[in-house]
Structures are given as structure tokens and as C-alpha cells.
């Protein structure tokens, strides 16, 4: 069963982290990737650029129209994700709790089931 763990981040929270905390987060993510790869549960992870770089393509009723991102004013936004293949939801939640963001107030992880996958021809 595949789950996407979305990392909801808040730039204000990240700015206020100490040097030591930032290093712990970096090491925590490296450790998390190593563990899930070792377990045969890891599929992919991506970290996303700042939402100020986002563009939105949406129909204006007649044709697709490009505008600036919707999250520019938002405090929290999606910073990246982990895609995992695990036994069940309980395991996905257990793993999400191991991501360092889960221990920092103001950050959050959203765990959602995947209903369709195509990873290309491998």
C-alpha cells in the first residue's frame, strides 16, 4: 500500500531554528531515507522550491490561464514529500512520526493513501 507523506512547512518556524536544530533535521532526514531504503519501503522523495516560484494554470472559463501561485500569502505550504510503500496505514503513521519535522511545533506531516501509480518503465 502506497502512502504520500506531505511535509507542511512554515518559513517563520524554519527561520527561528537554531543551527543545532537545523543540523539535527538534516541528519534526521538522511537517517529516515537510509532506514526506509534498507526496509524496502522507500519509493521517492522530493523537496519543492519556494511557493513564490509557483505559477498556477487554471481555466478562466474559455482557456487555460497562467497566474502567480496561490500560496504566496499563506503561512504554511507544502515543502516536499516522501512516497513510501508500506504494509498498512499504521506503519505509514509510525514512519511519519520518525520524520524530524514531526517533533517541531509549527511543522506538520500529512499522510494520504495513493490510489493510482505509474512510475514509468523503471
Partner 1 sequence: MTDAGPGHDSEGLWRALAPQTLARLLHTYGSSQFGVCEDAVQDALLEAYVRWPASPPDDPQAWLTAAARRRYIDRVRSDRRRRDREERVALLAAPLSHDGLQSDDTLLLLQLCCHPALSRSGQVALTLRAVAGLSTQQIANAYQVPEATIAQRITRAKRRLAELGGAFTRPAGVDERMAPVLDVLYVMFTEAHHTTSGAPAHDTDLAAESIRLVRLLRAGAPESTEVAGLLALMLLTEARHPARTGAGGRLVPLDEQDRRLWDRTAVEEGLALLDAVVPGAEPGPYLLQACIAGVHAHAPDTESTDWDEVHALYTVLEHATGGRNPMITLNRIVAASMVHGPEDALALLDDLADSHPRLARLDAVRAHLLERTGRTDEAAAAYRRAIAATVNVAEQHHLRDRLRALGPEL
Nearest distance from residue 33's CB to partner 1, in Å?
12
118 binds partner 1 (CB under 8 A): yes
87 binds partner 1 (CB under 8 A): yes
The alpha helices in 1-122, defined as continuous H runs, are 11-15, 19-38, 89-96
38 binds partner 1 (CB under 8 A): yes
76 binds partner 1 (CB under 8 A): no
Cell 482557456 belongs to residue: 63
19 binds partner 1 (CB under 8 A): no
Report the residue from 21, 76, 85, 111 that binds partner 1 according to the rule CB under 8 A: 85
Report the residue from 32, 42, 77, 81 that binds partner 1 according to the rule CB under 8 A: 42
Burial annotation 30-59 (CB, 10 A radius, 16+ → b, else e): eebeeebeeeebbbebeeeeebeeeeeeee
Distance of CA 66 to the CA centre of its chain: 24
90 binds partner 1 (CB under 8 A): no
Cβ proximity of 4 and 86 under 8 Å: no
User: Could you tell me the three cell numbers for 29?
Assistant: 532526514
Q: Considering beta carbons, is residue 76 or 85 the nearer one to partner 1? A: 85
Q: List contacts with partner 1 (CB under 8 A).
A: 1-2, 37-44, 85, 87, 113-119, 121-122
Amino acid at each position: 500500500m502506497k502512502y504520500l507523506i506531505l511535509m507542511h512547512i512554515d518559513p517563520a518556524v524554519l527561520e527561528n531554528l537554531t543551527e543545532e536544530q537545523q543540523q539535527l533535521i538534516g541528519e534526521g532526514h538522511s537517517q529516515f531515507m537510509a532506514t526506509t531504503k534498507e526496509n524496502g519501503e522507500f519509493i521517492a522523495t522530493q523537496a519543492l522550491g519556494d511557493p513564490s516560484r509557483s505559477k498556477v494554470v487554471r481555466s478562466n472559463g474559455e482557456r487555460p490561464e497562467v497566474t502567480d501561485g496561490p500560496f504566496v500569502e499563506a503561512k504554511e505550504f507544502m515543502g516536499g514529500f516522501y512516497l513510501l510503500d508500506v504494509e498498512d496505514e499504521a506503519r505509514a503513521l509510525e514512519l511519519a512520526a520518525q520524520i524530524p519535522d514531526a517533533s517541531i511545533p509549527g511543522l506538520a506531516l500529512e499522510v494520504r493513501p495513493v490510489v493510482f501509480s505509474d512510475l514509468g518503465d523503471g
